[in-house]
Amino acid sequence: MLFNARNSRGFTVIEMVATLAVIGTLIAVGLPVLKDLSESTKLNEAARLVERELQTARLKAVSANRVLRVRFNCPAMGYIRTIEVTGTSTIDDATDRCVPSRYPFPAPDNDLMTRPNFDGPVRVIPYEAVVSSLGFQFSPDGTAASVPGGPAGGSVVTAITTPVSFTILRHGKTRTVTVNNVGKVQLQQ
């Protein structure tokens, strides 16, 4: 039997180069789309964490019959913590209120007469997302008010008469969260 090059199986160099060129083009076109999708997913995850923290604070305020406050950028930019309002400005507005070694989570005792007992953990807002320095306070009836945010907090509680919106920012893209006076927290898509 004679060897015939036309009947042999395999690819020619030209076919291989053409296939690699098509694959390279598809990767070049698809990579920016995948990067945008990844960026959007990271921003959405950060926004959902903020929304969940607000929802959880409201639910805990109602179930524990306590006033709770959510502070953004506490103890520093990119962190969030729910704290119990004690009614004492030196504690509620303390700059170290978000420092876990000073106000630990969980509380060191279960005595409801000592406060604060309902401070939450300090959470990192993921992927370097940034939230405005506004904060929110939830009453035992579930209603919400706005308060100054940041590590120092603030005792100026402002009733919410129209829904208050704030943004979560990551690499130039934003998501908006809205809180209304009855405490409804809504993530805008």
Taking only the tens place, the pLDDT of each residue in 62-106 is 999 999 999 988 888 889 999 998 888 888 778 888 888 888 888
Q: What pLDDT, on the 0 to 100 scale, is given for residue 183?
A: 92
**Superfamily name and number for 13-188:** minor pseudopilin epsh domain (3.55.40.10)
Judged against a pLDDT cut of 90, whether residue 40 lies above it is answered with no
Q: What pLDDT, on the 0 to 100 scale, is given for residue 153?
A: 64
Among residues 100, 104, 43, 53, the alpha carbon closest in space to that of 75 is found at 100
Judged against a pLDDT cut of 90, whether residue 172 lies above it is answered with no
What does the mean pLDDT of the chain come to? 84
Mean pLDDT computed over 19-39: 79
Element counts in the chain: helices (H) and strands (E): 2, 10
Q: What pLDDT, on the 0 to 100 scale, is given for residue 3?
A: 56
Question: Of the ranges 15-19, 70-74, 90-94, 182-186, which is most confident?
Answer: 182-186
Q: What pLDDT, on the 0 to 100 scale, is given for residue 100?
A: 84
Judged against a pLDDT cut of 80, whether residue 50 lies above it is answered with yes
Nearest-angstrom CA–CA distance, 115 and 45: 32
Q: How confident is the model at residue 112 (pLDDT cuts 50, 70, 90)?
A: low
Would you mind telling me the total number of residues written for the chain in this entry? 189
Bridge-based pairing of strands 173-179 and 164-170 is antiparallel
Spell 27-61 as b/e; 16+ CB within 10 A means b.
eeeeeeeeeeeeeeebbbebbebbbebbbbbbebb
Q: How confident is the model at residue 11 (pLDDT cuts 50, 70, 90)?
A: confident
Judged against a pLDDT cut of 60, whether residue 5 lies above it is answered with no
Nearest-angstrom CA–CA distance, 168 and 141: 27
